[in-house]
């Protein structure tokens, strides 16, 4: 019996999103798709790093180098956030 399951490709921001920052909160909006996503700065930073050229592991390593005290947390947060952003339509599969 054969089955299908998921795969991971380099994440890439979906085109057409507008980004606004206000009072420590970041808002991603896509008027054509009728989507609005409220995020904090770290979630928005992850989204910004998804340019299609970096794998999830690359993003983890980059952020871990910048925030070495949170390496373990970043390794957990980045894949979860990428998956959520994909589910919300803000990222392509890459």
Q: At what angle do helices 41-49 and 56-66 cross, to 10 degrees?
A: 130
Based on the shown chain and the rule CB under 8 A, indicate whether residue 52 belongs to the binding site for another protein.
Answer: no
Distance of alpha carbon 50 from alpha carbon 78, whole angstroms: 11
Residue 38 contacts residue 21 (beta carbons within 8 Å): no
Report, in Å, the least distance between residue 48 CB and another protein.
5
Tokens of 43: 């979630």
Based on the shown chain and the rule CB under 8 A, indicate whether residue 17 belongs to the binding site for another protein.
Answer: no
Based on the shown chain and the rule CB under 8 A, indicate whether residue 14 belongs to the binding site for another protein.
Answer: yes
Q: Pick one of 10, 17, 23, 52: the residue that binds another protein (CB under 8 A).
A: 10
Report, in Å, the least distance between residue 16 CB and another protein.
6
């Amino acid at each position: 019996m054969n089955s299908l399951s998921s795969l991971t490709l380099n994440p890439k921001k979906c085109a057409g999103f507008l980004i606004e920052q206000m009072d420590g909160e970041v808002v991603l909006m896509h008027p054509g798709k009728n989507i609005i996503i409220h995020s904090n700065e770290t979630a928005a930073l992850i989204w910004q790093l998804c340019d299609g050229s970096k794998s999830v592991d690359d993003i983890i390593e980059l952020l871990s180098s910048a925030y070495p005290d949170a390496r373990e947390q970043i390794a957990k947060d980045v894949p979860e956030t990428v998956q959520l952003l994909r589910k919300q339509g803000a990222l392509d599969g890459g």
